[in-house]
Every structure is written in C-alpha cells, then in structure tokens.
C-alpha cells in the first residue's frame, strides 16, 4: 500500500527571482507574466509521486523583499527541504542566494536538503531546447574578450546571462547542494527540483 509522507519545504531568495512563479508552475502548471510580490509568505501544497512512494509537499513561499528577511526563520525552522532561488540574469541574486545557504547551514535542521535553482533560463536560451549557450554569431566570432552579460561593439546585448552555469554549479557542489537551472515561464527544470529533492528525503 502507498504511503504519503509530508515534507515541509521553504523557498528563499532575493525579491523577483521567481520563487512564487516556480511554485505556481509546480502546483498549477501555470505562469503569470506580472506576478505580484509576495507579502510575508504564501502556503501551498502539492503531491510528488516517485516510483515507490508519494510525498506531500507543504510549501512555504517566502517574500524576498528585505523588510521580510526577519520572518524567514519561522519558515525554514523544521523544514526538511529548501529551494534557494537566484536569477541567471542578475549576478547579485547569486550572492544573496549564497547568504541564504549560509544561514540555512548555520540555523536550519542539519539534515535539510537544499537545492539551488538558477531561474529565468528562458531569457538566456530563447527558442532553444538545450541549456548550453548558442554558438556565437559571425560578427562576434573574432571578439575574443566578449563574456556573457557584456555588450558587443555594436551595442547589441550578447546575452542576458550574468551567472555562468559552471560557476554556480561548482559553488553548489562545493556547498553540497542540488543544482538546477530553471524557467518558471517554460517549465524547464521545475518538476525536477521537487523530484530530485524527494529522492533525497529519507524513508522513515
């Protein structure tokens, strides 16, 4: 017979990185282009089916605005899992994510499963199935110094990406986190976050 385990999960990260949008995608398979900022926190639930069991996620979607920072411990206390979100088009949001990870590793349940999610990947790989960057175009080919996020001599944005995948993934590995690049807009990588976390939650 199938057992349903409750798993308390918290989402943390800078304002507007897409925490609520990731939850909305996971829970309702929807996307809202002009989602309003979360006030305080929102609570949602969703089942997650693995081969051998079903988990029921109890999700606390926290508010990223700085004025709500002090509320966070109420939501990560006793959490078995955390998703720390940054925006791949905003380098400072990865720095904020790192401070959340440090806070969780210091203050939360020592067995907490933490996933790092680089969201808004659709802005970096438009109309591409692959997570790898598109080949450089001819006009950019001889600009050896071009890096993601910079503009070319013509003033065209080369890429909106400000956080290289390798850099974030190396950090995640070093800090012992699961790592994903996601798009709440297209759904890429979203279910995977919750499925991979579920696999790490011990059967009691």
Nearest Cα neighbor of 124 from 157, 156, 97 is 157
The answer to whether 125 contacts ligand GTP (rule: CB under 6 A) is: no
Q: Which span (9-17, 71-79, 99-107, 138-146) binds ligand GTP, by CB under 6 A?
A: 9-17
Residue whose CB is less far from ligand GTP, 2 or 36: 36
How many whole angstroms separate alpha carbon 42 and alpha carbon 47? Answer: 17
How many whole angstroms separate alpha carbon 17 and alpha carbon 191? Answer: 17
The answer to whether 65 contacts ligand GTP (rule: CB under 6 A) is: yes
Q: Contact letters (x/-) for ligand GTP, 154-193, by CB under 6 A?
A: -----------------------------xxx--------
Q: Which span (15-23, 50-58, 142-150, 155-163) binds ligand GTP, by CB under 6 A?
A: 15-23
Nearest Cα neighbor of 9 from 118, 119, 108, 120 is 108
Nearest Cα neighbor of 12 from 117, 91, 109 is 117
Footprint on this chain of Mg ion (rule: CB under 5 A): 19-20, 38
**Helix ranges (DSSP H) in 108-164:** none
Interface size with ligand GTP, residues (CB under 6 A): 24
The answer to whether 16 contacts ligand GTP (rule: CB under 6 A) is: yes
Q: Which span (32-40, 92-100, 107-115, 144-152) binds ligand GTP, by CB under 6 A?
A: 32-40
The answer to whether 63 contacts ligand GTP (rule: CB under 6 A) is: yes
Residue holding tokens 């401070």?
99
- Exposure string for 34-63, b = 16+ CB within 10 A, e = fewer: eeeebeebbebeeebeeeeeebebbbbbbb
Residue 203 CA, chain-centre distance (Å), reads 25
Shortest spacing between CB 181 and ligand GTP, in angstroms: 10
Shortest spacing between CB 111 and ligand GTP, in angstroms: 26
Shortest spacing between CB 189 and ligand GTP, in angstroms: 9
The answer to whether 18 contacts ligand GTP (rule: CB under 6 A) is: yes
How many whole angstroms separate alpha carbon 195 and alpha carbon 203? Answer: 14
Q: Which residues bind ligand GTP (CB under 6 A)?
A: 13, 15-21, 32-35, 37-38, 63-65, 119-120, 122-123, 183-185
């Amino acid at each position: 017979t199938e057992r349903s385990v409750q798993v308390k999960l918290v989402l943390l990260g800078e304002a507007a990185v897409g925490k609520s949008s990731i939850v909305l995608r996971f829970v309702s398979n929807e996307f809202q282009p002009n989602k309003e900022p979360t006030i305080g926190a929102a609570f949602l639930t969703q089942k997650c089916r693995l081969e051998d069991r079903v988990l029921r996620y109890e999700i606390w979607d926290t508010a990223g605005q700085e004025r709500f920072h002090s509320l966070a411990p109420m939501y990560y206390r006793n959490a078995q899992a955390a998703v720390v979100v940054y925006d791949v088009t905003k380098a400072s949001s990865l720095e904020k994510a790192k401070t959340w990870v440090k806070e969780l590793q210091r203050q939360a349940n020592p067995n907490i499963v933490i996933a790092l999610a680089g969201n808004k990947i659709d802005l970096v790989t438009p109309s591409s199935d692959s997570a790898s960057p598109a080949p450089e175009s001819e006009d950019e080919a001889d600009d050896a110094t071009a890096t993601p996020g910079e503009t070319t001599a013509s003033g065209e944005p080369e890429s909106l990406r400000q956080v290289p995948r390798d850099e974030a993934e190396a950090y995640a590995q070093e800090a012992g986190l699961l790592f994903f690049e996601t798009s709440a807009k297209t759904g890429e990588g979203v279910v995977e976050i919750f499925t991979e976390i579920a696999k790490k939650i011990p059967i009691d």
